[in-house]
Structure 1
Amino acid sequence: MSESRPQKLPKSLIFSAGGALLLAIAIFSLFIDRAFCRYLWPLGAVFVISKIRLFHIRKKDTRCGRCHICTDACIMGIDTGGSSVVTSGECIDCFRCADACPSANLMAPSCEAAAATAAPLALTGMVCIGTIAAERPVPETAAEAAATTSAASSQGLYQDSTYTGSDQGYKDTTSVSVTVESSAFSSIEVLSYADDRQFFEKASSTVITEILSPQSTEVAAVSGATFSSEGIMAAVQDALESGAITERADTRSNDAQESSSVSTESSSAAGAFADVADGTYTGSGTGLRGTTAVSGTVEGGRVTSITAISYEDDAPYFQKALSGMAEEIVSAQSLDVDTVSGATYSSNSILEAVADATGLDFTNLNLSRTAGHGGKRA
């Protein structure tokens, strides 16, 4: 049995109906001003609600000569002669009635005009403020950031093997397998997921490539598949944490004995800022997206505060890194501290910026280069 197709109306009939409607509107407009807007336009139903308004055109009956000049001048065809207040919902406040009145009898109270103007302005302001507040990223607190386990970067801080990890996606758990070769993760395989297939595949096809390229889970989520993207990144992070070399400080200490130039030698000792003169200094470092600039205050040979001046990394990741790194550096009085999990590149940029500000040596693992000396006094 063949499927029946709906019958199409002849084009001539469509054109004839449309032409007839257009002709009727044109004729209607010859006799009634703004006929389409007043009676046929669908938005005209809003005029019913506009009866409730703060602003009215008023007139004094004692001065009205009942000449109907104001009614004749109204482009909306409102009869203004039978009332002292124009209450029609069709009134558009064009003031032609007031201009036409020979005795200047129609007027608008200044208080009502001010209230009618202030109301939409206040509403617009509230909408703008609400939009800005909703889009502003909320930084993670220092306590939450400090509780997050630090993930090792790809420069020689992973043991070669295959690791599995899992975390929450949009609907349920996402599990992945991460293979580490030559201390860097070389491949990521999805083991299972519960999200909708079309959204998850859209996320995985992009996020996995983005993670492998910079060797970091600090990548942007795929638009339209944010929850699936974050589930994949968190699962990879969970897998990498089990393969990270935890004895990082001991490894660096052994390397320092074998090499004459170790970037963290001066900052690994307690009281690394003891030789820095009191003052406030600025310095810069390189993050994932660009340059990070910070300000550090030193008092009595101790760094007391670290604040961000500018940055180019994604705001949620950078704020997460800043809240954790500032607390760790001030607490340890050293640059030999763990980076914040999920914000490794931003963490390294902050460490390099503090080193640059205070004149200490530090290798930014983001680019494997030594930060410059000589912090600039603010």
Structure 2
Amino acid sequence: MTSTPMEKIKAYHSMKPFISEQDLEQVANMLSLNAIDRTKRIEGKEAEFEFLLMCHLLGNLKDIVAFEEGFSRLTNTVTTDVLFITKDDRRLAIEIKSTEKQTWKITNTVLNDKENFAELMNAELYFAIRIKNYWLFLSSTYVRQKQNKITIQDLINSELHILGEQTFIFLNSLTIKSTYITDGDKGIGITHPDYGFLNRYSVEINQKNVLKISPSSKDKLLAYTFALEAVQDSASNHSQEIKKLDTHKTLIIETLNTNCSFNLSHFLLAPIRHLTHELHDNYDFTTYVTENIDDLRKVFVNKNLVIRTLGILHKNGLNVNEVINNDLTPLDRIYDLTDL
């Protein structure tokens, strides 16, 4: 069976931010897209947007150049997806891939073509591969060393630090308590689809309240809740207790396990995943980028806010370490936390 042209996939994908699910169904029928087109192939495009947004937010890129594959075919030129120029002037030709399988593979012919294009661009060839929702960033040299086959076990050799990625380990636990009410006038700017409006938010470490946000303090402290979205997501999967305090008030208690790892990108992307969209349940990264492409510098969370938030928790009993050269280094040995 002939594969659906990529131009149709791109057309469908580009329309997602602007029309409802019902209208999208009609567009898919008009373009004769099958189930694979609308799932696996669209997920590949979504993965590209996720990776590009992640790298932009990490803040170590000076330039991003995207290539139009359609015109390149006129001269049978094989391109990569993008060219990155980092702030330290490294030129990286990057191919972005996503797979649901255990192993990602590439043929020698395709690898040779990608390397030739990277050479044409005077750049190093890298592959950004999402396996099991983890991003691996590996050089073509490494891919060849692995005989063109990559698995999740290669994550330990990923080089995302080149793009500004950092990894933090929480050695002990914390508990987040969120109180929701049905009265929107008493909320602090965050909503829950089932329980209403966030009215109180607190973080406890060793049964000590170290961060407390209420309507009176929301203007000063609300940003910290955004910075901790990734932590709360993990905690909700580890231990979550929901208490109905009365007909209008619900308390959710979430506790994070010990020895948890978080990348800087987790903190940066998590708030976007929770945004509610007027046409869809939540924003995906394609929609977010499309609607904010001219204003992406204004984001909910940046690296400075993440470090400041983790610094406050570290000073108050959460043993936060950053992974540097495969060693764990306490946060207060890396950053000045005196003013927190």
Q: TM-score range by the shorter chain?
A: under 0.3
Larger Rg: 1
Higher strand share: 2
